[in-house]
Amino acid sequence: MVVTLAIKEKTPADRLVVLEALSLLQSCSIVLSEDKLFPQAIDYLQRAFSVRRRVGPVLLSRQCATNQYLRKRDDPHRYCQDACADVTRCGPVIVPQHHLQQCKVCSESGKSCGPSGPPDGPGVEGSDFVLYVSGITTERCGQENIVAYAAYCQLEAELDRPIAGYANLCPAMISSQPQEFEGMLSTVKHEIIHALGFSAGLFAFYHDDEGKPLTPRFASGLPAFNESLGLYQWSEAVIRRVSRLWDIKGGVMVRHQVHVLVTPRVVEEARRHFNCPILEGMELENQGGTGTELNHWEKRLLENEAMTGSHTQNRVFSRLTLAIMEDSGWYRANYSLAQRLDWGRGLGCDFVMKSCKFWMDRQRQRRHAVTPYCDTVRASPLQLTCRQDQLAVAVCNLQKYPQELPLEYQYFERIPDVDADQLSFFGGAVEIADYCPFSQEFSWHLSGEYQRNSYCRVSENQPDWWRNYGAEQYGPDSVCLYQKSAFVMEQCTRKMTYPDWGSGCYKVSCSAQGLTVFVQDRSYLCVRKGQLLSVSVRANDWVYNGVLICPACTDICDDCPLPHQLPPINTSRSNPIDPCSSSPGLATTLWLLLLNLLPLVAGLLLCHCS
């Protein structure tokens, strides 16, 4: 499939154009991508970005037969030595002949240069960027559960803006599960943004608002090439190398080297987001190897920002990502489409410029929670918690590694029930977050097959009643609430609890009275933060008894009553239900329930995708 992006003033003719469907898109899941994923992703990008300077029809240079080309002084075009290749590719896709310029060649001596072969094709009119989409199982698809990958192919001659790129979807990783659609959509947007400008290979080609290159050029029109990185070398007007003082275990501080993007809008947005006026810019990812390192925002600092290097949960495209695209010099950004990013918001310079150990230690000294990090080892049974935004059940991803972590990432002086000589093996499960542990959304798998995830606002995540151990309700009005203790399921002569507990998803509403929590057919008013709600409800011939902990009304609702407007706290209590008043004879149901417990617990996996 070939699609075009017209990312300027929007008229009906500028909308998504499907030029042709290639045989590369075959499976049902890839058809889903063609029909839904790409149209929605491209609609967002066309609304989010407009091109500053539009050129004529998109025409691509032909590749050279020898993969070597020449440049003439004051001529932006590339010339092949002797001959152009018979076929020009953009990633794995063969570029149609009518998208190509006439071949430009130079003699072996380089003295005689000119056009050769068929004339220019008509190109792609009315568009700013051509995206070639494929669905091929490539070698790269087999690496670390990659869902998709993308890159730019060619730049326009005058301002170096990408005019063509490709996106390959790995067929085995494309899901038709409705609750996974938003995650896949985010992945497609993420990959196209790489091709449009957020790429280490493009940083050296960024321009200022006047259209001048931010990185000096040679007479050839190209910046210097960094052989060790395999990239054109950017200037310090784009990225600077910064050394941080970095706390690790044992009261030791080491030097932590990072690359910081320092273009003006990114600096402004980063300082505002973290509330740190001395912040030099926004850190780029320093781990993950080729393709991840330098090509994404630092995961430790912007955990669920969509342009970090792994998909852990609830991706959002924040003002920072819109800012870097605008600072490329190629686009204007529509900041009204930026999504709210809560991770790190307003936490100050100590959070953004220090190690997570420093932050957690300081929070403990102040008797505060170590949020957004965590310090509970992921073990069985699970201690469930809530994601930072309270929209998903989560678990702390602190775990033991088979080998000691690098000294730079050894953060813990003590962990309950862990011997001192084992502490250096513990860190967060997401390595590119500098091994800092944080609470993470997860998925349930049964016999290796995906069942559902822990995001509260997707109705499809509602557990079957025989697995709904905490009387939870998933849906568009639900949030994650903490449980004081494990819920107890009772019949007249039987009791059972589920070993994994600590939080669950429950329907809530906001009103002039404040925050109301709904469990089955009963409602409970939260009067203050930390208030305990004694829950007793009947469902499917079981009585569920448990205690929920109220969040602050302001954590969930936009408008909350003032303190003097709140009712007495005892208005939220309810009378317990007698389990012996229900129908007897449900031993079979309990047996089926117990049969389903084991595979569910054994199949609980914490997933993160690249």
Q: Residues with catalytic annotation?
A: 191
Report the distance separating Cα 4 and Cα 130, nearest Å: 4
What tokens does 231 get?
A: 């990239």
Report the distance separating Cα 481 and Cα 502, nearest Å: 9
Instruction: Spell out the SS3 assignment of 537-561.
Output: EEECCEEEEEEEECCCHHHHCCCCC
Is 256 within any annotated ligand binding site? no
Produce one character per residue of 240-277: b if its CB has 16 or more CB atoms within 10 Å, e if not: eeeebebbbeeeeeeebebbbbbbebbbebbbebbebe
Our separate counts of H helices and E strands in the chain read 9, 34
Give the DSSP letter string of 161-225. -EEEEEEEE-GGG----GGGHHHHHHHHHHHHHHHHT-STTTGGG-B-TTS-BSS---TTS---E
Report the distance separating Cα 528 and Cα 566, nearest Å: 9
Taking the alpha carbons of 232, 233, 238, 244 in that order, is the dihedral positive or negative?
positive
Q: In what order do the strands lie in the sheet with 443-446?
A: 449-453, 443-446, 604-605
Whole-Å CA distances, 417 to 254, 379, 414, 422: 28, 12, 9, 10
* 554 φ, ψ (degrees, to nearest 5): -70, -15
Taking the alpha carbons of 342, 272, 288, 29 in that order, is the dihedral positive or negative?
positive
Is 190 within any annotated ligand binding site? yes
Report the distance separating Cα 462 and Cα 478, nearest Å: 11
Is 426 within 8 Å of 419 (Cβ atoms)? no
Give the DSSP letter string of 412-445. -S--TT--GGGGGGEEES-GGGTT--BEEE-EEE
Is 82 within 8 Å of 108 (Cβ atoms)? yes
Taking the alpha carbons of 401, 404, 408, 414 in that order, is the dihedral positive or negative?
positive
Taking the alpha carbons of 394, 395, 396, 398 in that order, is the dihedral positive or negative?
negative
Single-letter code of the amino acid located at 492? C
* Angle between the N-to-C axes of helices 181-196 and 38-48, in degrees from 0 to 180, rounded to the nearest 10: 50
Is 194 within any annotated ligand binding site? yes
Q: Is 108 exposed, middle or buried (0-12, 13-18, 19+ CB in 10 A)?
A: exposed
What tokens does 236 get?
A: 């310090």
Question: What are the residue ranges of helices labelled H in 284-341?
Answer: 319-327
Distance of alpha carbon 249 from its chain centroid, rounded?
29
Report the distance separating Cα 67 and Cα 383, nearest Å: 56
Coil vs helix vs strand at 590: helix
* Angle between the N-to-C axes of helices 319-327 and 181-196, in degrees from 0 to 180, rounded to the nearest 10: 20
The binding site for Zn(2+) consists of 190, 194, 296
Residue ranges at the known binding site = 190, 194, 296
